[in-house]
Structure 1
Amino acid sequence: MSKEIERKFLVANLPDLSKAKKAVVRQGYLTAPDDSTELRLRQKNDAYFLTLKGVGGLVRVEREAEITADQFETFWPETEGRRVEKIRYTAQLQDGLVFELDVFAGDLAPLCLVEVEFTSQDQATRYVPPDWFGTDVTDDTRYKNKTMAINGVPD
């Protein structure tokens, strides 16, 4: 079973992103707002994915399959009202871990969130983030992309 172990933070100050990889992302959710499992369509530059994410904060099930552009476009209309647009910057931190920083567009602008994935739950709980990271929102369900796609930026 594929598991994702990650922590998510608000961004206190944007770092230098000049060496980061940049991807334009649009994603929409096929599952109902009250469904605890997420079924997501994602376009990341010219690649398309169908992703299932289970319940959880720090650790949760994640399964992903690449799909064709035609398959993506077939289901995309069903995500109306449950969509997110963002620019994702990916780079390495000084400690060797990789961060993914999302700069949201549309109704979620100017929100910025940063995520770091880990190989173990112990590594995740011991992690000390750099100064430019803000509040840890890993367990705050208001900052899940699906929740924000439906409800907007948390108050």
Structure 2
Amino acid sequence: MAKEIERKYLLTGYPDDLTITRTQEIDQTYLASTENESLRVRRLLSNGEETFTMTHKAGSGISRDETEFQIGSELYEQLTSRLHVIPLKKTRHKVKWDGHAYDLDLYHNTVQQGLITIEIEFDSEEQFHAYTAPDWFGEDVTGQSQYVNSQLWEQIQQHHN
């Protein structure tokens, strides 16, 4: 089981000279979600290729347990079609800046219009605490529940019912 140790920041914009290494269109649906645990499925489209994943996350705070694995399109469709919910939709740019790799997410259907976040993952809590964000990053929203993807997804469901 992997550990997920990450920081998340709000963005109002980003530099034109970011190096984008990959772009993915992501549809994300939660099958179960509590304060300390979530189970989600994703449909990812990158360079015309579709892949599907299931991810279980457990814990709270800066370090959480994460298990992710590939699933088939049939299982994804079976799980999501019965729920009658709206997936969280976002474009993810994998970017490099100043020697670090980031996930820059442009959200398309959140209640918070124009939401853009950027995340960085760390190998240790020491790296997490030692990290200094670039000047163009906005507010550090790590751990703020209104910016956790499962909560963003939940808001979409409430807004459309």
TM-score by length of 1: 0.88
Structure 2 counterpart of 1:29: 30
Structure 1 10/80 Cα, relative in aligned 2: closer, same or farther at 3 Å?
farther
Structure 1 151/74 Cα, relative in aligned 2: closer, same or farther at 3 Å?
same
Whether 1:126 aligns to 2:127 is no
Structure 1 136/64 Cα, relative in aligned 2: closer, same or farther at 3 Å?
same
Give the Cα–Cα distance (whole angstroms) in 1 for the partners of residues 84 and 58 of structure 2. Answer: 22
- CA-to-partner distance for each residue in 1:4-46, whole Å, 9 max, x for gaps? 11001111322227741211000000005x4631000011111
Do the aligned residues in 2 keep the contact of 1:9 with 1:137 (CA within 8 Å)? yes
Whether 1:115 aligns to 2:129 is no
1:83: how far off?
Answer: 2.6
- Which residue of the other structure, out of 80, 84, 90, is the alignment partner of 2:94? 90
Do the aligned residues in 1 keep the contact of 2:110 with 2:152 (CA within 8 Å)? no
Structure 2 counterpart of 1:39: 39
Unpaired runs of at least 5, structure 1: none
Moved runs in structure 1, 4+ residues, more than 3 A?
78-82
TM-score by length of 2: 0.85
Unpaired runs of at least 5, structure 2: 157-161
AA aligned to 2:69 is A
Structure 2 counterpart of 1:77: 81
1:142: how far off?
Answer: 1.3
Question: Whose strand fraction is larger, Structure 1's or Structure 2's?
Answer: 2
AA aligned to 1:25 is I
AA aligned to 1:149 is W
